[in-house]
Structure 1
């Protein structure tokens, strides 16, 4: 099954406005953490100059503004949802960063950028939408020679597998071993540079726990929407599945340098 077909099965059961309205309520749209974002930047050599960064699938911008603190950079924060784009604009203005953080509404598989125009491409918790291999291959053209890509991708953490593989097959069809993910990065035209596994706190404390009040508020705001409860039930199923199988899979930060 092609990636976009799988996306339709998982995401298009709910309209995009419903998804956006929920995720605009939380700081993170996927597992992650400020500490882990900073750790990833520390594994990339210092640029020692002003650079250009594309943060693809930026969501509400938690990692975007960590990058803005770390680098002297012009950052294009890219997301498909207008709700996320408006949030980025508001945060940029509140932080006095309008001149360096630019919100760009675009699809990650149709980016409106010039080739070889970025020093760093960032994607936390988002590359699965386009597909890991496809995303690395497509985004590579926008990197300058020697530029870096940093993405998080769900991967097997060892040899153990969940007893119930149905959720994995529906939601993480490209999951693979860390070794194979590194190999795929190499085959996509990058020198694998560094990688590390995100800790459990990135899932539970940073992502799932803040969802609980957002779920209640979301259902209160959408009492008559035919799919609002179903959407929340699916999120709760995901949380329960992760809790049961967190020793089998998790997010890994993969960093590569364009060959």
Structure 2
């Protein structure tokens, strides 16, 4: 029997937020913070449930929060919210000075901003499908992608049928992942806290990413970076990852074929090996 969410779920109140998070692994392990994406119903557990236990078993201290505005954490005004403050307040509450950041989609973008703007808190940077505000977009049409359009539609229609469309666009193998159980689970998760998606929708183009990274500062990132991307990602094209890798000094790219936007779920075993090896053996890993 695998790890259950009830085994790892916790809550902490900081100066500005109540943050729900999942924690597993030894207290003295290298801290790894897993940041989820911005789709309706996304949480730390839903984005990383096959990764948390595996990384903890490898000796890492794994923290997978629901960022404020999502899941079991505080509601926020996305027009005024600073996600970096929330992340740092969580780290301070848990006694973590510096951590490896692992971020999918919106979480990957937040991780990049952390590495640029608060580098003293970041030991390693690992992203999967992180969006960048490229203008014009490299190698493709401008404007929202097919996946982004479906994701935004899910903020107002979060029926199981809408969640099926969302899951299918997020992965390469929709028949495998878009199960009735998962689609109902995502729908129920949004319905339990409908104000979260209402707040994202109210922010319009600025939700769920209220502030974009300054691409001119990518060269300032000092943390070693591992940039993972699915070759078949229909939400965020892999060209943005190539753009970032050309500018982040200590970076490398891992492109996975037959993989969509959720590399950590579609190729969980490979992802877990990559993250474990990178955090433990690239750079000092000392906190």
Instruction: Give your verdict on TM over 0.5.
Output: no
Q: Higher strand proportion, which one? A: 1
* Larger RCO: 1 or 2 (CA < 8 Å, sep 6+): 1
TM-score w.r.t. the length of structure 1 is 0.37
TM-score w.r.t. the length of structure 2 is 0.34
